[in-house]
Structure 1
């Protein structure tokens, strides 16, 4: 049965009952404090509110100071979301910084139900700047995931984060992956300096994963390195724990030409025990420090002549080299420790050799 258009407020059928809402004298939208079992009950409630408006006795509903009301606002709900997530210390610290510095100062005092797409777009275009694309992407992605939880809990009807491609980062510079010849020059360095960098360049390990390797993680008979933990640093504290994501726990094949060098290095390590770190610090017990790894990489860049590459760029090199051998997307995902194929694509590049080979093969078509 069709209902006449209401002159004051609106009523909508929702799972579990009827929701009544109206626009107050102050221009703000208000919902009834609960769902009504029948439409006539919702009609009665709106009629009573309308009567107060006409008589001039209406006042904005008082905001409850209890825990429930705090979750109606982005600040309270977002902080609860982060607190309840199972995150590594480093990721938790990063999320909290993004939340407190970039999201909540502008949007924190807004009720979840009033977070409309236009408001999100204004925040995205004014607060988040183009000169920090990665920070911009992570801030938007965090907000989108928080509001996705709000949608799943029924606190909002639909996630207002709808900016197309906002969660992507455009590459700001072209990366020319290191070649096999350049990487093999690292074998001329002392093993303590060259091998950590080689495991990043050939196997795609992150800096924290290299530092977190233990002797038991290196299987020279099978030619495999087991990535089971990583080292991060937050607020001056060193944390040793599992990789950032479940996909980061993986087994990666070691190119055979590296195995003799790794075996020779392990045989000379002063401290015995499979639980010992593969690349220990000066005390022989603690893991290699960030400073030591930076120094090793500085030496590596001088030897290879690739001052343009960062340590993280070596992951691009590993993915590119694996791709040149014909690795499938699934194999690259496993090797790089990524959960999605989209992340793998970021690390694939056409280097000089592959470009030349492609051009040569295309030219052959002209001779047919």
Structure 2
């Protein structure tokens, strides 16, 4: 029996010669829409080769709508943030990074106009204009947004491909001496003295201090119960909620020398109701970061501390002091309210007894250093 003639493969797409003499390629895509090649070709063969590449992509399920990436980056990024269900503080931080560092360069571009070279150029320019930590955070945000665009089939690949660009390598933060902590507390004045001491000797975060209330204080145990935090957003509004980490809800035992400080503050400055705030401004309103910041900068200058010493560095100071007592890692993490999935088993067995012992160690160290400082001053006066 005579063999059948092999069937010719059905032609894919069409090519036609334009008045210019060049060739145009068109095809019907899987989406049912007719697509035209983004450029014309010198020969019919070149146009057909392009169609063959498109056909191969379709057969391998690699085809992507060539117009899919024609979406404005700014609109996509803003929708990305709204759809993430982000915490108010995270949304506030991302908004700042986007507005100040990303949109000025990419806001007017479509997604498919953002290329690896343009990302490299943007990052290099940002590093000249701002700190490396901010650039790393901005890069991570840009990469996350564009990765979602890849997942949405709007981009074939993510143009953020710089190895290590999202890694933060923050400088070691400065610490204060015990004497400097007390000097700062004195310089801040009676109303804010306790806040400085708690920032250092209780290792509390600023947003945790802002939400401490009268009922948070246990005078008999010389301790504080941290249950909520109230970070301040860029617009000045405070958002009250759970602490930064799951381990943030904790009891912090204080060194014994803090007891008179607690009593004095409760008597003179804290709101009188059981749920009254521990720290309020001179006019009775919750303290504002801007107002407190001005006082802090003046106190820092008066004491002679470096300009890069932030209020948050008191927490670092306290953590360092606690570590110097020889406490175990799990006890240090509980006191500081630090948490991670990997560290969960490390700190979960830290007991109140361990925490009291840690506080006693801090108390002994502070008293010893204060005695040493006083003796040094006395010898100077007598000389």
Q: Please state which band the TM-score falls in when normalised by the shorter chain.
A: 0.5 to 0.7
Q: Show the counterpart of 1:361.
A: none
Q: Show the counterpart of 2:228.
A: 228
Q: Normalized against structure 1, the TM-score is what? A: 0.62
SS in 1 for 2:237: strand
Q: Show the counterpart of 1:24.
A: 38
Q: Rate the CA distance shift 1:216–1:40 in 2: closer, same or farther, 3 A.
A: same
SS in 2 for 1:144: helix
Distance 1:335 1:161 in 2: 39
Q: Show the counterpart of 1:276.
A: 276
SS in 1 for 2:286: coil
Distance 1:148 1:254 in 2: 45
Deviation at 1:146, TM superposition (A): 1.9
SS in 1 for 2:128: coil
Check the 8 A contact 1:202/1:254 in 2, yes or no.
no
The aligned length equals: 295
- Higher mean alpha-carbon deviation, 210-219 vs 321-330, is at 321-330
Check the 8 A contact 1:117/1:162 in 2, yes or no.
yes
Q: Rate the CA distance shift 1:185–1:124 in 2: closer, same or farther, 3 A.
A: closer
Distance 1:133 1:88 in 2: 25
Q: Rate the CA distance shift 1:147–1:249 in 2: closer, same or farther, 3 A.
A: farther
SS in 1 for 2:232: strand
Deviation at 1:76, TM superposition (A): 2.8
Check the 8 A contact 2:184/2:300 in 1, yes or no.
no
Q: Counterparts in 2 of 1:5-24, with a 5 A limit?
A: 24=38
Check the 8 A contact 1:194/1:296 in 2, yes or no.
no
Q: Rate the CA distance shift 1:161–1:324 in 2: closer, same or farther, 3 A.
A: farther
Q: Rate the CA distance shift 1:248–1:112 in 2: closer, same or farther, 3 A.
A: farther
Q: Show the counterpart of 1:103.
A: 102
Q: Normalized against structure 2, the TM-score is what? A: 0.60
Check the 8 A contact 1:247/1:339 in 2, yes or no.
yes
Q: Rate the CA distance shift 1:80–1:41 in 2: closer, same or farther, 3 A.
A: closer
Q: Show the counterpart of 1:77.
A: 76
Q: Counterparts in 2 of 1:235-246, with a 5 A limit?
A: 235=235, 237-242=236-241, 245-246=244-245
Distance 1:246 1:135 in 2: 22
Q: Rate the CA distance shift 1:216–1:296 in 2: closer, same or farther, 3 A.
A: farther
- Alignment of 1:179 with 2:193, yes or no, is no
Give 1 or 2 for the bigger CA radius of gyration. 2
Q: Rate the CA distance shift 1:231–1:165 in 2: closer, same or farther, 3 A.
A: same
Q: Show the counterpart of 2:165.
A: 166
- Alignment of 1:197 with 2:227, yes or no, is no
Distance 2:218 2:155 in 1: 51
Check the 8 A contact 2:175/2:314 in 1, yes or no.
yes
Q: Rate the CA distance shift 1:166–1:41 in 2: closer, same or farther, 3 A.
A: closer
**1:201-250: CA deviations, max 9, x gaps?**
22333334323322233334441340512241433x43232268445843
Cα root mean square deviation, aligned: 4.4
Distance 1:302 1:111 in 2: 48
Deviation at 1:279, TM superposition (A): 0.9
Q: Rate the CA distance shift 1:130–1:86 in 2: closer, same or farther, 3 A.
A: same
Deviation at 1:333, TM superposition (A): 4.9
- Alignment of 1:126 with 2:125, yes or no, is yes
Q: Rate the CA distance shift 1:271–1:130 in 2: closer, same or farther, 3 A.
A: closer
Check the 8 A contact 2:181/2:197 in 1, yes or no.
yes
Q: Rate the CA distance shift 1:94–1:325 in 2: closer, same or farther, 3 A.
A: same
- Give unmatched runs, 5+ long, in structure 1: 1-6, 9-15, 28-38, 47-59, 64-68, 343-352, 354-368
**1:64-89: CA deviations, max 9, x gaps?**
xxxxx688443332111112233454
Distance 1:331 1:248 in 2: 12
Distance 1:71 1:319 in 2: 50
Q: Rate the CA distance shift 1:232–1:188 in 2: closer, same or farther, 3 A.
A: closer
Distance 2:318 2:328 in 1: 14
**1:108-160: CA deviations, max 9, x gaps?**
45554564444322221234535432331221121122234334555445544
Distance 2:57 2:143 in 1: 35
Q: Rate the CA distance shift 1:227–1:165 in 2: closer, same or farther, 3 A.
A: farther
- Give unmatched runs, 5+ long, in structure 2: 1-11, 14-29, 42-54, 343-364, 366-383
